A and B are shown apart, each in its own frame.
Chain A
């Protein structure tokens, strides 16, 4: 690998030092009693429109996104742009569904999706299914954030043998764990502001400077092989890449806000208005993500993958090295330091929120439900802090000892799993018509079928569904959540007739869902 880039490294370290201080100082920001779970784990639900914008932005547009989406454009071309329609259609969902969820959670003090499902349907096993799915789907997501840090540390020229090679990642991890433990959600909320400023500066500079260096967009797109520029037109008797593109966008969108960390960001908002305003403001990030996707083509046009100085990086990190290599190639060292810090810090923010979200889930919906039914506030928040450490340590061990490919594949499966919680959570916001045991059966069938389909396609996201001679390649998550819904709908009258009704009444009233 190339030599250590001292200027970039110094700036990187200084910025990391700054956000470390900020993370600890955040404990005193909008001060609350951190011995209460909603203070530690939801920032006391005190964040207004702007902070929510940064926080949800930090959730959705992670370091891994910034590395992986351009890497996909570089490797596979146009299909990587599905991230744009995906992040277009999440915001109406936020506007309509999650505003209602925010209101009902605020009214009843719910902190997790499991809390809501427990209260709405009165079935703790259904809540447990939602909880376990959330935790399991989140773990590989955290691991992927650490991959993002690994790539930029490697690109700074730091390498070594054995333990020395992992030392920088360990340091980043300890910092992350410590400020999350002490400050809770306030830490990533404050750091997200710094992260976003750095990311916007980087993206804007790159989108202006690099095309000028490369001789304009004409030349850039001319350098990209024609088959990468557009989706392949489908042949006869198939919806081909069009169906795959649209279902990937649709399924990813519906899955996104079911992830525990997204919900944590939403529930920490101080009002339903803040949520709705954010639905109109968050596309700012989508626009930037679209620009970042184009970086994949800049890499092709600049030919950095063929330069000898970056060969070792591409060999070690694969296409994920494309963006770091492009930045190294195009910018002076001091700016590379800022850009890499943006990516590194962009990994810490979602990793912190994810570990908090998983900790909230365990504490509320497993520990409190099944182990210690009457914890004091202090016991509850301490348990959550402890679990946030365990979750992160698990992710770290995973990244250090298991090939990265497994984390990516598990993350793919995680998307298929998490969407199976759509009927009780998203539809639950509107109706309690479904029988809770039928929802549990639908979840089980969807999870099992999704896993089997993903394995049958060798862990690629799309499954070629064949119906009556026509092939519909589509995102497995979409097909299996439809199956899940069908099972739940068919079994609901059956279970109701058998008298398998939940003994506990709905805690929520129709008027709890809006202002």
Chain B
């Protein structure tokens, strides 16, 4: 019983995906550029929109990996 509690309330390695999500989103030098453009949209804009989708997928992965 105590072990189950510990596992569900504590740290999971899957949370590292959140760290990646944070680090990329909060590091503007990484995406503050025009090229490559996608359908005429500068990298700055399409990359951040793409990162929204990647982040949602990461969160879903963590959800399924940590729920029992």
Contact of B59 among A91, A242, A246 (CB under 8 A): A91
Mark each residue of chain A from 215 to 251: 1 if its CB lies under 8 Å from any CB of chain B, else 0. 0111111000000011101000000011001100110
Chain B residues 2 to 20 lying within 8 A of chain A, measured CB to CB, are: 5, 8-9, 15, 18
Separation of A279 and B15 alpha carbons in the complex (Å) = 13
Can you name the residue of chain B whose Cβ is closest to the Cβ of A247?
B26
Mark each residue of chain A from 74 to 98: 1 if its CB lies under 8 Å from any CB of chain B, else 0. 0000100100110111011001100
Indicate if A448 sits at the interface (CB-CB under 8 A): no
Residues in B whose Cβ lies below 8 Å from that of A510: 9
Contact of A287 among B18, B52, B63 (CB under 8 A): B52
Separation of A89 and B51 alpha carbons in the complex (Å) = 11
**Shortest Cβ distance from residue A88 to the other chain B in the assembled complex, whole angstroms:** 5
- Whether A81 lies near B44 (C-beta < 8 A) is yes
- Whether B59 lies near A230 (C-beta < 8 A) is no
Indicate if A464 sits at the interface (CB-CB under 8 A): no
Size category, A interface = 35 or more
- Whether A217 lies near B40 (C-beta < 8 A) is yes
Separation of A85 and B31 alpha carbons in the complex (Å) = 11
Separation of A24 and B25 alpha carbons in the complex (Å) = 42
State whether A286 and B63 are in contact (beta carbons under 8 Å apart), knowing that A78-B44, A514-B9 are contacts in the complex.
no
Contact of A279 among B25, B39, B42, B63 (CB under 8 A): B63
- Whether B5 lies near A514 (C-beta < 8 A) is yes
**Shortest Cβ distance from residue B30 to the other chain A in the assembled complex, whole angstroms:** 10
Chain A residues 493 to 515 lying within 8 A of chain B, measured CB to CB, are: 510-511, 513-515
Separation of A91 and B17 alpha carbons in the complex (Å) = 12
Indicate if A280 sits at the interface (CB-CB under 8 A): yes
Contact of B32 among A88, A242, A515 (CB under 8 A): A242
Size category, B interface = 20 to 34
Indicate if A294 sits at the interface (CB-CB under 8 A): yes
Mark each residue of chain B from 42 to 64: 1 if its CB lies under 8 Å from any CB of chain A, else 0. 10110011011101100110110
- Whether B45 lies near A242 (C-beta < 8 A) is no
- Whether A290 lies near B52 (C-beta < 8 A) is yes
State whether A89 and B25 are in contact (beta carbons under 8 Å apart), knowing that A95-B63, A277-B63, A513-B9 are contacts in the complex.
yes
Contact of A89 among B26, B42, B67 (CB under 8 A): B26
State whether A242 and B28 are in contact (beta carbons under 8 Å apart), knowing that A81-B48, A230-B33, A515-B8 are contacts in the complex.
yes
- Whether B41 lies near A229 (C-beta < 8 A) is no
- Whether B26 lies near A249 (C-beta < 8 A) is yes
- Whether A250 lies near B26 (C-beta < 8 A) is yes
Contact of A84 among B33, B42, B52, B60 (CB under 8 A): B52
- Whether B26 lies near A276 (C-beta < 8 A) is no
Mark each residue of chain A from 271 to 305: 1 if its CB lies under 8 Å from any CB of chain B, else 0. 00100110111011011001100100000000000
**Shortest Cβ distance from residue A222 to the other chain B in the assembled complex, whole angstroms:** 8
Can you name the residue of chain B whose Cβ is closest to the Cβ of A281?
B56
- Whether B40 lies near A88 (C-beta < 8 A) is no
Determine which residue in B41, B52, B60 has the highest number of CB atoms from chain A within 10 A of its CB, and name it.
B52
- Whether A284 lies near B25 (C-beta < 8 A) is no
9 chain-A/chain-B pairs, Cβ below 8 angstroms? A78-B32, A81-B45, A85-B51, A91-B55, A100-B9, A245-B28, A276-B63, A283-B59, A510-B9
Residues of A bordering B, CB below 8 Å: 78, 81, 84-85, 87-89, 91-92, 95-96, 100, 216-221, 229-231, 233, 241-242, 245-246, 249-250, 273, 276-277, 279-281, 283-284, 286-287, 290-291, 294, 510-511, 513-515
User: A78-B32, A81-B44 known; 19 other A-B pairs, CB under 8 Å?
Assistant: A88-B48, A88-B55, A89-B22, A91-B56, A92-B18, A96-B18, A216-B39, A217-B39, A221-B37, A229-B44, A230-B42, A246-B26, A246-B28, A249-B25, A276-B63, A280-B63, A287-B49, A287-B52, A290-B52
